[in-house]
C-alpha cells in the first residue's frame, strides 16, 4: 500500500504564504515566457496543496497540433537529469471559476447506489462466443472458467430503474456519430463490451474493425457510425502511448500537453475517458514542455495524476461545447488483490470467487480514496461539460467478475506459477460478458 505524502503535514498558513511569495518571485524570473503566474485567490488551495511553491502555474498549450516529431515521447525517451518536483501546477480554465457545487440533476435518483440482483433472464446481454471481437484476455469461459454466475447479475439502483438496454435505440443515438473511448486497458474492456453489445444487429459484411493500433475503429456502414478506442493510459502525452511497446519501469509524462491525443479525439461526438491504475505504480517523471534539455522532475503518482487531469480539464473546459459533444468520465475500476479485505484471515485474491460481496458500502484498498477525492474535485468544476459514470462502488462488490486465471497470458507460465493459481491471477480486468456491460448500460442510461 502506498501512503500519500500529499496531505500529511499541515504547516501554519502564515509562513506558507511567505514562502509562496518567495517562490513566486523566483519562478517569475526563471520562466517568464511560458508560465502564467498567479497566486491562487481561493484560500482552499492554500490548505489543500502543501507544496510551498504552488504559486507557479503552467497553462497547457492547446493551440495547433504537435508538429515536431523529435519532441514526441516514446519508449526510448530518457530524462537527462531528474530533480524533485518543484511545485509547478497546471492552470486550467475551470479551476479559477470555483464553480462550487454540482448542479442538481433533473432526475433525483442516484443510479450508482444500488445492489446486484441475480437475473439469468435479462443477462447476459450477449453470448461470449457470439462476439467476433472478443478479446482473449477477457473471454473467461473460453479459457476454462466453468462457473458462469458472473454473467447473470443485473445492477438495480435503490430508488429507480436503469433504462433497459436496447441495441436499436443505441444505434439510433449513434447514427452519423463517432463514439470514442479514451484511456487504459480497463477502458478498452468497456469498449470491447460496447462493440459486442452493438455488433450483433449489423450484418457481417456491413461492419469492419481496423487493425489493432493506437486508435482502433469499429465501423457500422448502415448507421455511418464508429465506436473507437484510443490508447492513452495517462491522458497526457507519455512514453507509454504505444499500446504494445511501452515502458513500465520509468514513466515520463508531459504534464502540460494532451495535444498528441487530443488531435485524435477532438472530432469525436461522444467521448468516454478513464485513467487510474497507471498512476498507481510509483513515482512519475515530469517533462514540462518548457524544458528543452530533457530535464525532468519526479513526483508521486497521485500528484502526477492531478497535473495530468488538470491539462485534460483545460482541454475540456476550453474546447467542449456541451451542445455539440458529450463527454463522460468513468471513475476508477477497483481491483481485488487481497481476499482478506472481504474474508478476514484468508490469504488469497479474487481467484475462486464466485459471488459478489453483499455488504452494502463495501470498499477495499483497490479503490484509492485520495484519488477519488482529487477526481471529484476536478470533475465538480467541469460539471456542465462532463457526466460522471461512477462505477467504483458497484464494481467494488464484484470480486467474482475478474478473469483470475481464465484468460490468455502473454508470457508462458512457469511450473511454480501453474501449481499456485492465485500467484498469476488477473484481479484487475473484467470477464466479458460481465461487469463492463453494466458500465455501458449506465452510459446508455445517460446518453
Ligand atoms: C503551442 O504549440 C504550437 C505548436 O507546437 C507552437 O507553435 C506555439 O508556439 C505554442 N504556444 C505556446 C504559447 O507555447
Ligand atoms: C436461472 O437460474 C435458476 C435458479 O438458479 C435456474 O433454475 C434456471 O434454470 C436458470 N435459467 C437459465 C436459463 O439458466
Ligand atoms: C446465448 O446462447 C443461448 C444458447 O445458445 C441462447 O439460448 C441465448 O438466447 C443466447 N443469448 C443471447 C443474448 O444471444
Ligand atoms: C457520416 O458521418 C460523418 C461524421 O462522422 C459525416 O461527416 C458524414 O457526412 C456522414 N456521411 C453520410 C453519408 O451521412
Ligand atoms: C539530453 O542532453 C543532450 C546533450 O545536451 C541533448 O542532445 C539531448 O537532446 C537531451 N535529451 C533530451 C531528451 O532532451
Ligand atoms: C463516486 O461515488 C462515491 C461513493 O460511492 C463517492 O465517494 C465519490 O465521490 C464519487 N466520485 C465522483 C467522481 O463523483
Written as one string, the DSSP assignment of 209-273 is EPPSSSEEEEEEGGGTEEEEEEE-TTSS-BTT-SSSS--SSS-EE-TT--HHHHHHHTT-SEEEE
- The pLDDT value recorded for residue 55 is 55
The rounded Å distance from CA 327 to ligand 3 centre is 33
Atom 10 (ligand 6) nearest CA: 390
Q: Residue 220 C-alpha to ligand 4 middle, in angstroms?
A: 12
267 lines ligand 4 (CB under 6 A): no
Whether 81 is in the pocket of ligand 5, judged by its Cβ within 6 Å, is: no
CA of 72 relative to ligand 5 center, distance in Å: 13
CB 126 near ligand 3, within 6 Å: yes
| Structure confidence at residue 360 (pLDDT) | 95
- Output the pLDDT for position 63: 65
| Cβ of 61 below 6 Å from ligand 1 | yes
Q: Which residues are the active-site residues?
A: 185, 426, 429
Q: Would you place residue 235 in the very low, low, confident or very high pLDDT band (cuts 50, 70, 90)?
A: very high
For residue 200, the 8-state DSSP code is: T
The pLDDT confidence band at residue 140, using thresholds 50, 70 and 90, is: very high
Cβ of 69 closer than 6 Å to ligand 1, yes or no, is no
Higher pLDDT, 173 or 106: 173
Residue 269 alpha carbon to ligand 4 centre in Å? 12
pLDDT at 52 over 60: no
For the Cβ of 224 lying below 6 angstroms from any atom of ligand 4, the answer is: yes
pLDDT over 90 at 341, yes or no? yes
Which atom of ligand 1 has the smallest separation from the CA of 66? Answer: 5
Q: State the pTM of this model.
A: 0.85
Report how far residue 39's alpha carbon sits from residue 2's, in angstroms, rounded to the nearest whole number: 31
pLDDT of residue 105: 52
Residue from 124, 133, 128, 248 nearest 184 by CA? 248
pLDDT at 59 over 90: no
**Is the minimum distance from the CB of 132 to ligand 5 under 6 angstroms?**
no
The stretch 205-212 carries a mean pLDDT of 88
Q: Name the residue at shortest CA distance from atom 4 of ligand 3.
A: 127
Q: Which phi and psi angles does 402 have, rounded to 5°?
A: -85, 155
Low-confidence winner among 123-127, 175-179, 279-283 (lowest mean pLDDT): 279-283
Between these two residues, 45 and 103, which has the higher pLDDT value?
103
Task: Evaluate if residue 359 carries a pLDDT over 90.
Answer: yes
Candidate of 102, 274, 312, 331 to mutate for ligand 6, largest count of ligand atoms within 8 Å of Cβ:
331
Q: Which ligand is nearest to the CA of 221?
A: 4
Spacing, Cα 128 to ligand 3 middle (Å):
10
Domain assignments of the chain as residue spans, ordered by start: 57-446
Which pLDDT band holds residue 73 (cuts at 50, 70, 90)?
confident
Distance CA 150, CA 175 (A): 32
Instruction: Kindly compute the dihedral angle of the four CA atoms of residues 160, 166, 170, 175, in this order, to the nearest 10 degrees.
Output: -140
Ligand closest to CA 178: 4
- State yes or no: pLDDT of 230 exceeds 60: yes
Residue 428 pLDDT > 90, yes or no? yes
Decide which of 394 and 23 is more confident: 394
SS3 state of residue 326: strand
Q: Report d(CA 231, CA 215) in Å as an integer.
A: 7
Ligand 5 atom with the shortest distance to the CA of 77: 13
Q: What is the DSSP string of 33-93?
A: TTEEE---S-HHHHHH---TTTTEEE----SS----GGG---TT---SEEEE----EE--H
pLDDT category, 356, cuts 50, 70, 90?
very high
Q: Cα of 79 to ligand 5 centre, how many Å?
A: 8
Instruction: Indicate the average pLDDT of the chain.
Output: 84
**Could you tell me the distance, in angstroms and rounded to a whole number, from the CA of residue 126 to the centre of ligand 3?**
7
pLDDT over 50 at 434, yes or no: yes
Does ligand 6 have an atom closer than 6 angstroms to the CB of 199?
no
Residue 313 pLDDT class (50, 70, 90 cuts): very high
The count of C-alpha atoms lying within 13 angstroms of the C-alpha of 259, restricted to the half-sphere facing its C-beta, is: 18
pLDDT at 393: 97
Distance of alpha carbon 186 from alpha carbon 317, whole angstroms = 25
For the stretch 148-179, pLDDT in tens is 999 999 999 999 999 999 999 999 999 999 99
Ligand 3, atom 5: nearest CA belongs to which residue? 127
pLDDT the model gives residue 40: 27
Q: How confident is the model at residue 333 (pLDDT cuts 50, 70, 90)?
A: very high
- C-alpha cell of 96? 479559477
Question: With contact defined as beta carbons under 8 Å apart, do 334 and 404 qualify?
Answer: no
Nearest by Cα to 250 from 220, 315, 294: 294
- Cis status, amide bond into 124, omega within 30 of 0: yes
Got the DSSP string for 356-400?
Answer: ---STT---TTS-HHHHHHHHHHHHHTTTTEEEE--HHHHHT-TT
Q: Report, as an integer, the average pLDDT of 42-66.
A: 52
Q: Is the dihedral of CA 54, 56, 62, 65 positive or negative?
A: negative
Give the residue-averaged pLDDT of 121-140: 96
Q: Which ligand is nearest to the CA of 226?
A: 4
Cβ(60)–Cβ(258) under 8 Å?
yes
**pLDDT one-digit tens code per residue, 381-422:** 998 999 999 999 999 999 999 999 999 998 888 998 999 999
- Smallest CA separation from ligand 6 atom 6, residue: 372
Topology adopted by domain 57-446: Rossmann fold (3.40.50)
The finding on whether 392 has its CB within 6 A of some atom of ligand 6 is: yes
Q: Residues 30-39: pLDDT tens digits?
A: 332 222 222 2
Residue 261 pLDDT exceeds 50: yes
Q: Which ligand is nearest to the CA of 67?
A: 1
Rounded mean pLDDT, 98-103: 46
- Nearest alpha carbon, ligand 5 atom 8: 293
pLDDT at 290 over 50: yes
Amino acid at each position: 500500500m502506498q501512503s500519500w505524502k500529499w496531505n500529511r503535514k499541515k504547516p501554519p498558513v502564515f509562513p506558507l504564504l511567505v514562502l509562496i511569495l518567495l517562490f513566486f518571485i523566483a519562478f517569475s524570473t526563471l520562466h517568464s515566457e511560458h508560465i502564467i503566474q498567479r497566486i491562487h485567490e481561493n484560500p482552499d488551495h492554500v490548505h489543500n496543496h502543501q507544496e510551498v511553491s504552488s504559486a507557479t502555474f503552467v497553462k497547457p498549450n492547446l493551440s495547433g497540433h504537435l508538429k515536431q516529431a523529435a519532441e514526441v515521447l516514446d519508449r526510448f525517451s530518457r530524462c537527462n537529469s531528474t530533480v524533485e518536483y518543484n511545485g509547478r501546477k497546471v492552470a486550467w480554465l475551470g479551476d479559477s471559476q470555483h464553480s462550487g457545487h454540482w448542479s442538481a440533476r433533473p432526475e433525483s435518483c442516484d443510479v450508482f447506489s444500488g445492489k446486484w440482483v441475480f437475473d439469468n433472464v435479462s443477462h447476459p446481454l450477449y453470448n461470449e462466443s457470439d462476439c467476433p471481437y472478443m478479446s482473449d484476455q477477457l473471454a473467461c469461459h473460453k479459457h476454462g472458467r466453468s462457473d458462469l454466475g458472473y454473467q447473470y447479475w443485473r445492477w438495480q439502483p435503490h430508488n429507480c430503474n436503469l433504462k433497459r438496454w436496447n441495441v436499436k435505440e443505441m444505434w439510433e443515438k449513434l447514427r452519423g456519430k463517432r463514439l470514442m473511448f479514451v484511456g487504459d486497458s480497463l477502458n478498452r474492456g468497456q469498449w470491447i463490451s460496447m462493440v459486442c453489445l452493438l455488433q450483433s444487429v449489423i450484418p457481417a459484411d456491413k461492419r469492419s474493425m481496423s487493425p489493432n493500433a493506437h486508435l482502433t475503429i469499429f465501423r457500422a456502414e448502415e448507421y455511418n457510425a464508429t465506436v473507437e478506442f484510443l490508447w492513452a493510459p495517462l491522458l497526457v502525452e507519455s512514453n507509454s502511448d504505444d499500446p504494445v511497446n511501452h515502458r513500465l519501469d520509468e514513466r515520463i509524462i508531459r504534464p502540460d500537453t494532451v495535444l498528441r491525443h487530443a488531435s485524435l479525439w477532438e472530432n469525436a461526438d461522444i467521448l468516454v475517458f478513464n485513467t487510474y491504475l497507471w498512476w498507481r505504480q510509483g513515482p512519475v517523471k515530469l517533462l514540462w514542455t518548457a524544458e528543452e534539455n530533457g530535464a525532468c522532475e519526479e513526483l508521486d503518482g497521485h500528484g502526477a495524476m492531478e497535473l495530468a487531469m488538470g491539462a485534460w480539464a483545460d482541454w475540456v473546459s476550453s474546447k467542449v461545447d456541451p451542445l455539440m459533444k458529450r463527454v463522460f468520465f468513468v471513475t476508477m475500476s477497483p481491483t481485488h488483490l487481497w481476499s482478506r479485505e472481504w474474508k478476514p484471515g484468508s490469504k488469497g485474491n479474487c481467484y475462486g470467487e464466485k459471488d459478489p460481496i453483499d455488504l452494502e458500502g463495501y470498499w477495499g484498498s483497490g479503490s484509492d480514496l485520495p484519488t477519488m477525492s482529487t477526481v471529484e474535485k476536478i470533475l465538480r468544476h467541469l460539471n456542465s461539460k462532463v457526466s460522471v459514470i461512477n462505477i467504483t462502488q458497484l464494481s467494488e462488490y464484484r470480486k467474482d467478475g475478474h478473469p483470475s486465471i481464465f484468460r490468455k497470458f502473454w508470457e508462458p507460465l512457469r511450473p511454480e506459477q501453474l501449481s499456485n493459481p492465485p500467484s498469476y491471477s488477473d484481479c484487475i480486468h473484467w470477464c466479458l460478458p460481465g461487469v463492463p456491460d453494466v458500465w455501458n448500460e449506465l452510459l446508455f442510461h445517460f446518453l
